[in-house]
Structure formats: C-alpha cells, structure tokens
Amino acid sequence: MRKEIAYKNMENETTKRYSEIATYYASDWRGINTPELRREYDKFLAYIGSPPKIIADIGCGAGKAGRYFLERGFNVVSVDLSFGMLNELIKDVEPSKLSQIEPVLANMVSLPFASCSFDAIWCMASLVHLNQETKKIALREFNRILRPNGFLYLSVQNLLSKKHLLRVIESCFYDIGYDKDNRFYKRQKSLKEIASTPFLSFLIQGYAYLDQRHWFFPTKLEILKGLRTAGFEILESGSPFDQRIYFLALKNQNL
C-alpha cells in the first residue's frame, strides 16, 4: 500500500500563504482577466442563461471572475478561505456593489449555504489544494448547494501536463517559491531531505510543496470519477494532457 501524505495543517499553511501574497496576486498577471479567460467566462455564462442568476465563485481569490460576472448582471457569492484574498476583492469593488458580489470566508468542504441555493458554480484552480479524498468531499458539497439543473464550471492544473509533472519532481529536490519582494527562488534541498522524500507517493498523489503552499495536481480521470460519483453529468471537458483540465457539468437529477 502506498503511504498517504499527511494532510494535517496543510490547509492552514496554504491559506496563510495566500493571505501573505494576496496583494501581489491581485496586482500581477494572476489578477488580470485575459481574452482567453473571458472566452471561458462567456462559455460558462451561455450555459447558465440570462441574468439575474446567482453564481458561487468558490476559491475566488482576489475576485476577478466574480467581477466579470457582476459586470454582466449576475449576482455572485465569492467564497475563499483566505481573508487576505477576500480583502483584495473588497478593495476593488464599489461599496454599493458588495451585496451583489458578497464575500464569504468559508471552506469548500463545508459550505455555509442551504442545499439548492445557487444556479451555478465557478471553481477555477482552487481544488488543486485538496488531497484526493478531500476533493471528493468538496465535489459533493458543490452538488448539494446547486439548484436542480444547476451548472458547474471546474478547472484545475493537470498532473499529466509537462509543467505540473515537472513541478512535482522539482518539489522533491528543491525549495521553490517567492521571497518577500515577490522574486522567484529555487534552492536545492540537502541530501538528507531528498533521501526522506517519498517520491512514489508524491507522483501518485500529484503532490508538490511550492511557495509554502501544498498542491495536489490531479489527472482528468481523477476529477471525472469524482464528478460522476458526486452526481454530475459531464457536458464538456478538455484534453487529459492540457496544462489545465476543465469540465462543464450539470447536476444530475437521476441520482
């Protein structure tokens, strides 16, 4: 049997790091709605239909997706576990609009919403910080809070892409991250640290420790199984080898 990577304290460490880097995150390329992202937003919104509808932006970060949905007339509930990220969102939204892009500090594995509360869910990248078992719990929560025939857009970094597979391997040999001035560093680990690394478990679980955050890069098959088990019908999905894999899914009423 493979050894499971300990999950204790990982969530708190990852959340703490996101709060530390929130200002950089919101102001550099990660805070920009690129033309490619806008096309993804519009594809998602085309499934939902005309506003007003209520969208849960889960793992919202600094809120760039939610602001786009808000501009197009939708109501948004912006969920994140990082207070720093939610604070960046609040700074960039007019006070009169905050009730339409409501920030909520919450964990995606235990969402503080009644069942059948939302017309749609947008979740980009944040699921990557949950291990394999915890991802399944989050997907069940997504299904629970969606209304009948509600839509889910899910996108996550792919283990089977060259970039993220390399990150897992690099994480075995190097400490990688950004310093207090947001400058990238890559420091080789000691031989003792390298010798104690469970390489096989890292690869199987897609685990990497990067920039003081814990990552569990999944495969398309892992997410596909999790969605179906949670009660979703897959409408669209990307290639199993794309850098990011995406799914558009519908809450399945037959389960």
pTM confidence score: 0.94
Average pLDDT, the chain: 93
Enter the DSSP assignment of 150. E
Confidence check: pLDDT of 4 > 70: no
Q: How far apart are CA 220 and CA 226, in angstroms?
A: 10
One-letter identity of residue 29: W
Cβ–Cβ under 8 Å, residues 112 and 106: yes
Q: How far apart are CA 232 and CA 14, in angstroms?
A: 28
Cβ–Cβ under 8 Å, residues 238 and 144: no
112 contact partners, CB below 8 Å, separation of at least 6: 104, 106
pLDDT of residue 201: 92
Cβ–Cβ under 8 Å, residues 210 and 201: no
pLDDT band at 90 (very low <50, low <70, confident <90, very high): very high
One-letter identity of residue 188: Q
Coil, strand, or helix at residue 220?
helix
pLDDT band at 94 (very low <50, low <70, confident <90, very high): confident
What mean pLDDT comes out for the span 86-109? 92
pLDDT of residue 98: 87
Q: Is pLDDT larger for residue 7 or for residue 202? A: 202
4 contact partners, CB below 8 Å, separation of at least 6: 131, 201, 205
pLDDT of residue 182: 86
CATH number of 10-157+218-251: 3.40.50.150
The gap from C-alpha 38 to its chain's centroid, in whole angstroms, comes to 17
Confidence check: pLDDT of 23 > 80: yes
pLDDT band at 163 (very low <50, low <70, confident <90, very high): very high
- pLDDT tens-place string over residues 177-200: 998 888 999 999 999 999 999 999
Confidence check: pLDDT of 5 > 60: no
Confidence check: pLDDT of 93 > 60: yes
One-letter identity of residue 120: A
pLDDT of residue 6: 56
Peptide bond into 52 cis (omega under 30): yes
pLDDT of residue 3: 45
pLDDT of residue 7: 60
Domain with CATH 3.40.50.150 in the chain: 10-157+218-251
Confidence check: pLDDT of 8 > 80: no
Q: How far apart are CA 38 and CA 63, in angstroms?
A: 14
